[in-house]
Every structure is written in structure tokens, then in C-alpha cells.
Amino acid sequence: DVKVTQSSRYLVKRTGEKVFLECVQDMDHENMFWYRQDPGLGLRLIYFSYDVKMKEKGDIPEGYSVSREKKERFSLILESASTNQTSMYLCASSLKRVGYNEQFFGPGTRLTVL
Amino acid sequence: SQQGEEDPQALSIQEGENATMNCSYKTSINNLQWYRQNSGRGLVHLILIRSNEREKHSGRLRVTLDTSKKSSSLLITASRAADTASYFCATAFSGTYKYIFGTGTRLKVLA
């Protein structure tokens, strides 16, 4: 059974903390994505990676960075968490040919920044 | 603005009825996909329809695509309480890595 897993389902952090969200996929997919989901705004792409050590900014990269040192793992980093980063974070992966393949999503991490 | 916009935003029906939700988009696409999200969970892929296809079926799901109107519809027949979820369309177009998601339709199926 194919799987995308995320390190935490729920996370509570304080303003200014550095936060790591981790995502692991076991499907040998080339592409991995980080989205945030907010009510009324749908899913917005934060970052995308198409290969190890390769990344592209999405629509809302400010305040975030990413790391992909291994093919199966894609990490999202909040350098200094702020309250406006309270959200649901979703990781996804897909085969290489972007736009032609379905995305597989993890269960999500609900992050609260106090 | 969002590439995909779902309509209606919310839908409430009785078990056994059909549910129809629509998606409109703005630019030419390679394909359009529908996803389901149960409350507080990740998204699950339902069906993909390519730009050269007009209709596709998967079990109780029927998807249509009208590229001239830049719109798609998802029909769930004989709905069940377990179909209660949010449904999103996602569009993908050539020359980009992005899937653009709409804001979703919240479907509630009453037993």
C-alpha cells in the first residue's frame, strides 16, 4: 500500500521557534510538494521539489524553506514561526511527469503557533 | 485568483440521492483531477480526466469535461453517508509543475 507519512498530526509551537515538518514517501516518486490549507483559500503551494537537492518556490514561500537530501524525504522548515503560519500543512508526492499524474497526499499536520 | 473554482461551496443531500458539483477554470489545461478530503485528513485522488476526454466513469463517480466552457462536473450517484467530505478539483497545465486547487465543495450526505 503506497504511503506518504508526515511526522506529526498536531503540533503546537511558540512564536519565534524554528519548526521542522517532515514528509516521507515510499513510492520512489521524483516530485514532492508542500501545501498549506486555510479555510476559504483552498490549497496553496509553498514549495515543490523535482529531485534530490532541487526545489522551486510555489505561490507562498515567504517565511518557509525546504530541504530534500534524500529522494524519499522532503522537509518544510519554518525559520521563525509566526501566528499567521497557523494552518494545516499537507505534503504530497507524484511521479515525474508533472501535470499528468495524480498526487498522493499525507494525512496533514495541523500546526498552531501561539 | 484560483484557477479552479468549485460550485456550490456547500451541498446537503439525502442518502441515495445524486450529488453534482462543478469546477470552472481559466486557462488551457493538460488534465483535471478530482480529490476528496475527509474532515481534517489528507486528500485522496478520485479521478483524472485528460483534456482530450469528455467523460469518465469510476464506480459511482462520473466526471465530465467541457474545454470550450472551461468547466468540469463531478457526479456522485446513489450517495452514501460515507461520501460526506470536501471535494476539490485540481487543474494542471503544460509548462508548469503546479497543480492548482480550487476551494472545494463541502458535501454532507444525511442518513
Alpha carbons within 13 angstroms on the beta-carbon side of residue A3 total: 6
B97 and A4 in contact by Cβ < 8 A?
Answer: no
Report which of B56, B83, B31, B58 is spatially closest to residue A102, judged by C-alpha positions.
B31
A99 and B104 in contact by Cβ < 8 A?
Answer: no
Query: How far B35 CA lies from chain A's nearest CA (Å)?
Result: 9
How many CB atoms within 10 Å of residue A97? 11
The beta-carbon neighbor of B102 closest among A35, A42, A92 is: A42
Distance, in Å, from the CA atom of A81 to the CA atom of B46, rounded to the nearest integer, reads: 34
Does B98 touch chain A if contact means CB atoms closer than 8 Å?
Answer: yes
Beta strands (DSSP E) in chain A are: 4-6, 10-13, 19-25, 31-38, 42-51, 54-57, 64-70, 73-78, 87-94, 104-105, 109-113
| Cβ(B98)–Cβ(B33) below 8 Å | no
Instruction: Provide the pLDDT confidence category of residue B2 given band limits of 50, 70 and 90.
Output: very low
Q: Give the model's pLDDT for residue B30.
A: 84
CA dihedral sign of residues A71, A73, A76, A77: negative
Amino acid found at B106: R
The cell for B2 is 484560483
Distance, in Å, from the CA atom of B105 to the CA atom of B75, rounded to the nearest integer, reads: 12
Per-residue pLDDT of chain A (114 residues; tens, 9 = 90+): 669 999 999 999 999 999 999 999 999 999 999 999 998 888 999 999 999 999 999 999 999 999 999 999 999 999 999 999 999 999 999 987 766 788 999 999 999 999
Residues of B in contact with A106 (CB under 8 A): 42
Query: How far A17 CA lies from chain B's nearest CA (Å)?
Result: 24
Best of A102, A105, A109, A111 to substitute, by most chain B Cβ atoms within 10 angstroms, is A102
Those residues whose C-beta lies under 8 Å from the C-beta of residue A49, and which sit 6 or more positions away, are: A31, A32, A33, A55, A56, A66, A68, A74
Q: Give the model's pLDDT for residue B99.
A: 85
The beta-carbon neighbor of A42 closest among B30, B41, B104 is: B104
Element (H, E) at B36: strand B31-37
Query: How far A88 CA lies from chain B's nearest CA (Å)?
Result: 8
pLDDT in tens, B47-105: 999 989 999 999 999 999 999 999 999 999 999 999 999 999 998 876 676 788 888 99
Q: Give the model's pLDDT for residue A65.
A: 97
Amino acid found at A104: F
Query: How far B82 CA lies from chain A's nearest CA (Å)?
Result: 18
The beta-carbon neighbor of A105 closest among B2, B42, B48 is: B42
Q: Give the model's pLDDT for residue A84.
A: 97
Compute the average pLDDT of residues B102-109: 93
